[in-house]
Amino acid sequence: MLNQRISQKLLQKLSPQQIQLMKLLQIPTANLEQRIKEELEANPALEEGDGDSEELPEIDLDINDNDPPAVEEEDQPSEEEDTTQNDEEFDIQDGPDMSEYFADDDGEIAEYKIADPNAYHDPDNDKKTIPVSTTSTFHEYLEQQIGLLNLDERRKQIAMHIVGSIDDDGYLRRDIDTLSDEVAFRLNIQCSPAEVEEILSQIHKLDPPGVGARSLEECLLIQLRRKENKTYFTELAIKTIEQHFELFAKKHYEKLARALDISDEALKDVVDEIIHLNPKPGSNFSGGGGEQYIIVPDYILTNNGGELQLSLNSANAPELRISAHFREMIDHYKKSKDKSKQQKEAMLFIKQKIDSAKWFIDAIKSRYHTMLAVMQAIMDIQKEYLTTGDETLLKPMILKDVAERTGLDISTVSRVANSKYVQTEFGTIPLKFFFSEALSTDSGEEVSTREVKKILSELIAMESKRKPISDEKLTQILRQRGYNIARRTVAKYREQLNIPVARLRKEL
């Protein structure tokens, strides 16, 4: 049975302003400038300039659609008079003309439509455009070389399609049958897999050597076979890749030496031939086209005689204020004795824009204060590291530690730490670098896991490459130094450092 009833619920919902503030906290300094420009374009009440602490007067608006405009009887126009002219006189005398904000067309011809294009103009007023690189991309570089191959027009089209299927590393990830079907479907050219294979062999002649390979073995073989001055060790390297690639990849050097029937010294020369090849021929292309990421620090940290000084990078965040023109409109409206309905509607529009501008200015200020508070708390915890640059002095720190010091919510601290960087004398460091879990020592002291990782990487860097240290041995060394750690934890930290197992670190 359906029934209706009234109930009260207590819900916590985020206002649109709070959501926008959280988004502002997440924006790094590099993107903040664009966000401010968008707001400046959308809100005419906002402009760049030094902030003004003067409070704007309150606007008392009482708009009623049923009320006539507040105009005295002697000022009301007669039926014979032109009402449009009186309206214009009223706007000029008693209030600001807001028609430009509401009229669809003012009837005037824009200046740019009648300006003489040959007339003299100030070159300083020209648009400043960012220079664009005109260097060719990796695929354009390959396509330019296709014209040098001895191919007819039909085969050139097939070769261009194959080149378009090569990835940025220089590898062809599609099989021959798929390429044959794509050529028939997209180019309407009937081409057998054998012909595609033949054209691909021509592409293997392009630079850089190894481009168009379908596997690492094929990539290395192409480079070895294209060597001009082949030696005895080059031939052995080709044989190694063709017949014993798995032994070479897994670094089973004793078995490989027996399979090739050569000495350890000769095997070292063979391995040198292979390791000096380029496993990703497309990665070294310097013709441009690749994206370059420039890190803009959000904080600047300086060390003056052991005293850390923190400042926000505000180069891309100009000072904002309420437009002076909108202030004049408010003053004019307050001084006006008779206020028409149209003026009140105009003031309502102005008030909405001013309120939005005030909120945005306050949100930017709140962002700055929050960012400073979070970074200051990080500085207090990690002062020893920020003073010396020694990673072993990093203290264990999680988001909760910073939240307790600042009085902020953990989610707010997370948003500030996300995609933010601090410029120090040791380099530009992401804020996430300072956060790490704790690990107990034999003495009961808690140390940062980054300290253990630092020691682990130093031990591996100093090991003998002929006889690398196993994870079990690394665990024993760390325990001797007082770190209570398990072997599987050592393996996990080694993988996080992108360090392979001992067998793959072995060298001749």
CA 447/CA 156 separation, integer angstroms:
63
- For residue 486, what is the domain's CATH number? 1.10.10.60
Asked whether residue 335 falls in the same domain as residue 210, the answer is no
Tell me, letter by letter, the H, E, C secondary structure of 286-331: CCCCCCCCCCCCCEEEEEECCEEEEEECCCCCCCEEECHHHHHHHH
Q: How close are the terminal C-alpha atoms of the chain, in Å?
A: 84
Establish if 405 belongs to a structural domain.
yes
pLDDT in tens, 123-144: 444 444 444 445 568 888 888 8
- Strand-pair partners of 172: 166
Q: Looking at residues 178-185, what average pLDDT do you find? A: 87
- pLDDT higher than threshold 60 for residue 56: no
Asked whether residue 270 falls in the same domain as residue 305, the answer is no
- For residue 189, what is the domain's CATH number? 1.10.10.1330
pLDDT in tens, 394-435: 888 888 889 999 998 888 888 888 888 999 888 888 988 888
> In this predicted structure, what is the pLDDT of residue 312?
85
| DSSP secondary structure code for residue 282 in this structure | T
Asked whether the beta carbons of 319 and 333 are under 8 A apart, the reply is: no
- pLDDT higher than threshold 50 for residue 483: yes
Lowest mean pLDDT: which of 45-59, 292-306, 402-416?
Answer: 45-59
**Residue 457 to residues 372, 440, 473, 493, Cα–Cα distance (Å):** 33, 19, 14, 9
Establish if 131 belongs to a structural domain.
no
Q: Residue 186 corresponds to which tokens in the numbers above?
A: 């997209």
Q: Residue 235 corresponds to which tokens in the numbers above?
A: 């031939």
The alpha-carbon radius of gyration of the chain (Å, integer) is 36
Could you tell me the pTM of the whole model?
0.56
pLDDT in tens, 228-283: 888 888 888 888 888 888 888 888 888 888 888 888 888 888 888 888 888 888 87
Asked whether the beta carbons of 176 and 158 are under 8 A apart, the reply is: no
Tell me, letter by letter, the H, E, C secondary structure of 411-433: HHHHHHHCCCEEEECCEEEEHHH
Domain count, the chain: 3
**Residue position matching structure tokens 């909760």:** 400
Establish if 175 belongs to a structural domain.
yes
- The range of the structural domain enclosing residue 246 comes to 138-275
Which are the contacts of 216, defined by CB distance < 8 A and separation ≥ 6?
279
Within its chain, how far is the Cα of 222 from the centroid? Answer: 37
- pLDDT higher than threshold 60 for residue 455: yes
Nearest to 374 by CA among 401, 346, 342: 401
Asked whether residue 225 falls in the same domain as residue 311, the answer is no
Asked whether residue 152 falls in the same domain as residue 188, the answer is yes
Asked whether residue 485 falls in the same domain as residue 412, the answer is no
